[in-house]
Amino acid sequence: MRATRPAAAALAAVLAVLAVPAVAGCGIGGPQRRTIADNHRLVIGVKEDQPGLGVKRPDGTYAGFDVDVATYIAGRLGVPPERIEFTTTNSSVREEALAAGRVDMIVATYSITAARKRKVTFAGPYYVAHQDTLVRPGLPGVDDVRDLAGREICAVTGSNSWRRVIEERGVAAVPVRYPTYGACMEALARGDLDAVSTDDLILAGFAGDGPGRIINDPFTDEKYGVGIRKGDVAGCAAVNRAITRMYQDGTAERLLREWFGESGLELTTSVPQFEGCT
């Protein structure tokens, strides 16, 4: 009996460790993170310099369509506005911010692409925009995307929009690097840049606040997804349910018309086809 008691005690200790749920334990990779569907608070990445979509006010608060969509989704997940922290998350750092856990989700004109889906799980899309082009005031001879040949166009770090003009459409435009679309618009107003080609909702917001004209030659579908940590399938499914409800109860249409109703864009107010939580 004396010989078996230590062995039995050791076995019981091992079984006790194995019985602890993975979400509460610490393995080689550190503590396991829960799905965002269970979060008591949420840190949400948004843009700070895209009028109509995400703008940081002087008092530090954020406003725009993406901000309102994020607030609605969080509410459906059980997180009220007072437990949401918004933070600026530029295109160049979105994947890194999610992987590092600095943000729980990103709602920031984050187009779903095959390359990004290898690093991020996307819910949605919550809206499907279309790429168009804004040209500087007085620029002649640009009526469709092919007319950008030889012109200097904005190339925002981390964005694929300029590549769609040059690589996918085969237009020999000249990319000029800028950190954000806000910086591109400032360059456009100064005459240092000829055109900005990106999602029509982004352009509509900027066109309402500054100089330039949209050429109304849309191409591509830009599926705005909600970016969450790779592998959080439960969280993705919960966000998709929230997006569906947002369209069904009329909130999506109300927000779209509130932010872009005077832009002249043809707004889609039906539930987008989801990509699937992979």
Residue 189 is assigned to a structural domain of this protein? yes
Amino acid type, 247: Y
Q: How does pLDDT run across 7-41, given as a tens digit for each residue?
A: 444 444 433 433 333 333 333 333 445 799 999 99
Q: Which of 186, 213, 178, 181 is nearest to 198 (CA)?
A: 181
**111 shares its domain with 183:** no
Q: How does pLDDT run across 41-58, given as a tens digit for each residue?
A: 999 999 998 999 999 999
Domain limits at 251?
36-128+223-260
Burial of 215 (0-12, 13-18, 19+ CB in 10 A): buried
**138 shares its domain with 246:** no
Percent of the chain beyond pLDDT 70?
87
Question: If pLDDT is split at 50, 70 and 90, which confidence band does 137 have?
Answer: confident
Two tokens at 52? Answer: 């109509």
Is the distance from CB of 52 to CB of 205 less than 8 angstroms?
yes
Residue 126 confidence (pLDDT) above 90: yes
**212 shares its domain with 256:** no
Q: Long-range CB contacts (< 8 A, 24+ apart) of 55-64?
A: 56/88, 61/86, 62/86, 64/205, 64/259
**115 shares its domain with 161:** no
| Boundary of a domain, candidates 191, 221, 251 | 221
What is the pLDDT averaged over residues 252-277?
Answer: 90
**201 shares its domain with 158:** yes
* Predicted pLDDT of residue 266: 81
* Predicted pLDDT of residue 150: 97
Tell me the pLDDT of the chain averaged across its residues: 87
Q: How does pLDDT run across 168-219, given as a tens digit for each residue?
A: 999 999 999 999 888 999 999 999 999 999 999 988 888 876 678 888 888 8
* Predicted pLDDT of residue 209: 66
**90 shares its domain with 215:** no
